[in-house]
Amino acid sequence: MSGPSVVVFDYGSGNVHSAVKALEAAGAHAELTGNINAAREADGLLVPGVGAFGAVVDQLRASRADEVIDQRLAGGRPVLGICVGMQVLFERGIERGRSAEGLAQWPGTVRELNAPLLPHMGWSTVDAPEDSKLFSGLHSERFYFVHSNAAADWAVDTSGPFSPPIVTWSHHGERFIAAVENGPLWATQFHPEKSGDAGIRLLANWVDTLSAH
């Protein structure tokens, strides 16, 4: 299959074959693997996340995925985090009373949402800035969320070699970060691979950027 190469990093987080299929539908040549060299060399790296914040961080570090993410970002090479794969990019996560250090690509803490009903499960709208590349053509769409925790604050320094971060928000009990576009590092709190045609189109927007790297 032609198209940019994308590795969906397999570190034991659960069944992520749907992400591979969605990426292929979005025009990528996708591979599920825990091979460090493949993850380092692919045009794009997708970091999925299923489970608790602390456990996912531990698995990523044990698989040396944290090193690969650092190396890719240092070289301006695209990385996409999904769900807990987005959450672990922040400095810290607090879940069920346990505080765990994240990968610290962004400052901030992931915590339980202040909402009357958890988990937040189902289809929700997002508030994406007009200049978002990730949500290009998708500003009226809904996306599928399954989570109880999220980052509710954004405090990244906008100086540096990349364009200012683009932050997309959603709401469940309180406002929380639904997606981030920050140089080569993009992420979504929702599951694009479970979001039907809108999710495929969103992944295609990311895949289309990979040819520029």
pLDDT at position 31 is 96
pLDDT at 1: 52
pLDDT in tens, 137-151: 999 999 999 999 999
> What does the H/E/C string look like for 35-47?
CHHHHHHCCEEEE
Query: What pTM value is reported for the model?
Result: 0.95
45: left (phi over 0), alpha (psi -120 to 50) or beta: beta
Per-residue confidence (pLDDT) for residue 25, from 0 to 100: 97
User: Which residues sit opposite 29 in a β-bridge?
Assistant: 5
Low-confidence ranges of the chain (pLDDT < 70): 1, 14-15, 157-162, 212-213
Q: Give pLDDT, residue 59.
A: 94
Q: Please compute, for residue 78, the number of CA atoms within 13 A of its CA located in the half-sphere on the CB side.
A: 25
E strand or H helix at 101: strand 98-101
Question: How big is the chain by its Cα radius of gyration, in Å?
Answer: 16
Helices (H) and strands (E) in the chain, counts: 6, 13
Q: Give SS3 for 29.
A: strand
Which CATH number characterizes residue 191's domain? 3.40.50.880
Structural domain of residue 16, as residue ranges?
Answer: 5-210
Contact at 8 Å (CB) between 164 and 158?
yes
CA dist., res. 28 & res. 208, Å (int): 9
- DSSP three-state, residue 115: coil
What residues are annotated to the active site? 83, 191, 193
Total structural domains in the chain? Answer: 1
